[in-house]
């Protein structure tokens, strides 16, 4: 376990099944407070640029293709860009 605790993406059941993932594991960019780069990240709006450049984001987007989900509207409290 990381010294910051468990990443919120691993626990967020609202996103379970999105992009074929368990909990928020395959839509972590949409979840506030994720633990990336050894620190707590901010909201989607604050971390959007960093997440879009992330290898995990690119991998999931490539694997999902046309079925890729950027944001889950019902669970997202922020406006999509």
> Please, which residues bridge with residue 2 across strands?
5
Low-confidence winner among 1-10, 14-23, 70-79 (lowest mean pLDDT)? 70-79
| Confidence category of residue 74, pLDDT binned at 50, 70, 90 | low
pLDDT of residue 2: 56
**What would the pLDDT profile of 47-73 be if each residue is shown by its tens digit?**
999 999 999 999 999 999 999 999 977
pLDDT of residue 78: 46
**Could you tell me if 25 and 8 are in contact, meaning their C-beta atoms sit under 8 angstroms apart?**
no
> Which one-letter DSSP state was computed for residue 20?
G
**Could you tell me if 32 and 45 are in contact, meaning their C-beta atoms sit under 8 angstroms apart?**
no
Average pLDDT estimate for 3-14:
93
Q: Where are the domains of the chain?
A: 8-67
Encoded tokens for 53 = 């450049």
The mean predicted confidence, pLDDT, of the chain is 88
Q: Report the alpha-carbon distance of residue 68 to residue 58 in Å, rounded.
A: 11
């Amino acid at each position: 376990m990381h010294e910051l605790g468990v990443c919120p993406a691993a626990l967020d059941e609202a996103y379970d099944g999105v992009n074929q993932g368990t909990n928020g594991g395959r839509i972590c960019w949409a979840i506030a407070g994720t633990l990336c780069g050894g620190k707590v990240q901010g909201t989607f709006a604050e971390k959007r640029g960093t997440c879009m450049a992330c290898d995990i984001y690119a991998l999931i987007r490539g694997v999902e293709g046309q079925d890729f989900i950027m944001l889950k509207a019902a669970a997202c409290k922020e406006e999509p860009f």
